[in-house]
Amino acid sequence: MKKVDILIEDYFDERELIYPYYRFIEAGFKVDLIGPKKGVFHGKSGYSMKADKSIDEVKPEEYDAVYIPGGYAPDRLRRYDKILEFVKKMYESGKLVSAICHGPWVLISAGLVKGKRVTGFFAIKDDLINAGAHYTGKKVEVDHNLITATDPTALAEMLKKIIELLK
């Protein structure tokens, strides 16, 4: 069974976390919500989700993919060195690394976008370009094992691609 971890922090975008969570389960994957610590995290609109494990309890080799939802959570997630190291090790070991909306901020801080074709929410376009990425502006962009998407309107296409690559 494939294992996917979804990174969680306060102020996550509920649409970009909850729909993928259940879609991955529906596809037959084991899904863990991983936070900087265990416990309850609150979305932008007030909906809460509980982290199954803290970043201290997991290893990249235990997972086949990492998914980073948007909202304001990525700005908080990228402040944790252990989160960045985890994502970087996933990428370097050929595992699938995906981020939507503001999620690519984590990829920038992990040093993963330089020279890569990426997309993301239009407001972080300059951040991606300044980090050396080739910003395409496409709804979904795939560059080897890196998948990025613009916003919730790209969720269906992005998740279809992630599931296809993991099966």
The residue range of the domain holding 55 is 3-166
Look at residues 152, 123, 127 and name the one whose alpha carbon lies nearest to residue 140: 152
Question: Which structure tokens are listed for 55?
Answer: 């970043």
Any residues with CB less than 8 A from the CB of 130 and at least 6 apart, and which? Answer: none
Band of pLDDT at residue 68, cut at 50, 70 and 90 = very high
Angle at 121 between CA 106 and CA 38, to 5 degrees: 40
Residue 60: how many other CB atoms lie within 10 Å: 17
pLDDT tens column, 127-136? 999 999 999 9
Q: Is 144 considered catalytic here?
A: no
Mean pLDDT along residues 59-75: 98
Digit-coded pLDDT (tens) for 8-64: 999 999 999 999 999 999 999 999 999 999 999 999 999 999 999 999 999 999 999
What does pTM read for this prediction? 0.97
Tell me the pLDDT tens digit for each residue of 88-122. 999 999 999 999 999 999 999 999 999 999 999 99
Q: Cβ(133)–Cβ(116) under 8 Å?
A: yes
pLDDT one-digit tens code per residue, 77-91: 999 999 999 999 999
The answer for residues whose C-beta is within 8 angstroms of residue 17's C-beta and 6 or more apart is 6, 8, 43, 49, 69, 71
Out of 42, 102, 134, 144, pick the active-site residue: 102
- How far apart CA 74 and CA 157 sit, in angstroms, is 21
For 58, the token pair is 């997991």
Q: Give the pLDDT band (50/70/90) at residue 143.
A: very high
Supply the CATH number for residue 99's domain.
3.40.50.880
Q: How many domains does the chain have?
A: 1
**Backbone region of residue 29 per phi and psi (left: phi > 0; alpha: psi in -120 to 50; beta: other values):** beta
Residues 102 and 42 sit within 8 Å (Cβ to Cβ): no
